Amino acid sequence: MFNKGNMGGLLRQAQKMQEDLQKMQANLANLRVEGTAGGNMVTVTANAAQEILQVKINPEVVDPEDVEMLEDLVLAAVNQALQNGRAKAEEEMAKVTGGMDPGGMLGGLKLPGM
């Protein structure tokens, strides 16, 4: 009933998937995403590892009388960039896992929002 050959094959498959996931996680820092707000008046660049890399603000949107609007635009662009990063990370994981999460391995990657 118990076939050691099958078990060994499954273990090798699991190890390869784990290695692929670790490589993919390391590559997330190189995957760039953007979030924008206010008709591209504020642009935030992040990576799929959930790190903010750059914030660009069009000088036309800077109004000393309405700082709150600028704060809202920056917040919206940051949140959009982070969401885009999570989506990109999920897309990359699906390539490695075929859309499966064997044994909760993906949770072990400790990716924010996953």
Note whether 85 and 68 are within 8 A (CB): no
Within-domain flag for 83: yes
Residue 38 inside a domain? The answer is yes
Domain for residue 8, yes or no?
no
List % helix, strand, coil for the chain (3-state, nearest 5): 60, 15, 25
| CATH code for the domain of 32 | 3.30.1310.10
Tokens standing for residue 63: 């109004």
Q: Is residue 44 part of a domain?
A: yes
Residue 114 lies in a domain: no
| pLDDT given at position 58 | 97
The number of distinct structural domains making up the chain is: 1
Q: What is the pTM of this model?
A: 0.71
**Containing domain of residue 58, as a range?**
22-92
Residue 48, domain member (yes or no)? yes
Helix runs in the chain, H state only = 4-27, 67-97
Q: Is residue 84 part of a domain?
A: yes
Per the domain annotation, does 4 fall within a domain? no
What is the pLDDT, as a whole number, of residue 10? 84
Q: What is the pLDDT along the chain (114 residues), one digit of tens a residue?
A: 556 668 888 888 888 888 888 888 888 999 999 999 999 999 999 999 999 999 999 999 999 999 999 999 999 999 999 999 999 999 988 888 777 655 455 455 555 444
